[in-house]
Amino acid sequence: MDPIDLPESTQTTLSADESLRLLARGSLGSLGRIVYTRHALPVVLPVSFALDFSGTLIVSTPGGSSLAADLDGAVVALQVDSADQDADRKDSEPDPLGAVSVMVHGTARATKDGTGLRLVPELISGLRLEWAAEQAQQAEPTGSADK
């Protein structure tokens, strides 16, 4: 089996404040993954979320599901990432040279109406992964011949 030639990358740890700022700005979007355990096995589900004015994450749960009730009081994680653009850029140009991931841990509480979860961040971490520009360009597929 041939080895995979991955581009060289650097990882930078983001502070909790920087990670929360990225979530608050909406820089990473409003889709993430909720992570919890069921019967001692990990479960990862896609969810939409929003950050309210108090810093609490509001996570939507699928309509008609018992997920909010099942996770009420459970320790969960919400992972959000973006590999399509550099979240710190002021313009909307895509940046294929980096990715950002933010992980929030906390205790989930069902919303009063049972349609979602409230997650007060207890532990927040983030990571920025950047690839060297020349290696990323070499990894791009070649286009069709000029006309």
pLDDT in tens, 41-75: 999 999 999 999 898 999 998 877 889 999 999 99
pLDDT in tens, 88-105: 444 444 455 579 999 999
Predicted pLDDT of residue 31: 94
Q: Is the pLDDT at 36 greater than 50, yes or no? A: yes
- Residue holding tokens 């360009």? 137
What residue type is assigned to position 91 of the chain? Answer: D
User: Residues 28, 22: contact at Cβ < 8 Å?
Assistant: yes
Cα gap 34→36, rounded to integer Å: 7
Domain boundaries, the chain: 16-132
Q: What is the pTM of this model?
A: 0.76
Q: Is the pLDDT at 106 greater than 90, yes or no? A: yes
Q: Hey, is 14 helix, strand or coil?
A: strand
Class of domain 16-132: mainly beta
**Terminal alpha carbon distance of the chain:** 37
Flag the least confident range among 33-42, 62-71, 72-81, 116-125.
62-71
Cα gap 71→66, rounded to integer Å: 9
Q: Is the pLDDT at 1 greater than 80, yes or no? A: no
Predicted pLDDT of residue 86: 44
Q: Is the pLDDT at 81 greater than 60, yes or no? A: yes
Q: How far is CA 75 from CA 42, 103, 107, 109, 143, in A?
A: 12, 13, 4, 9, 47
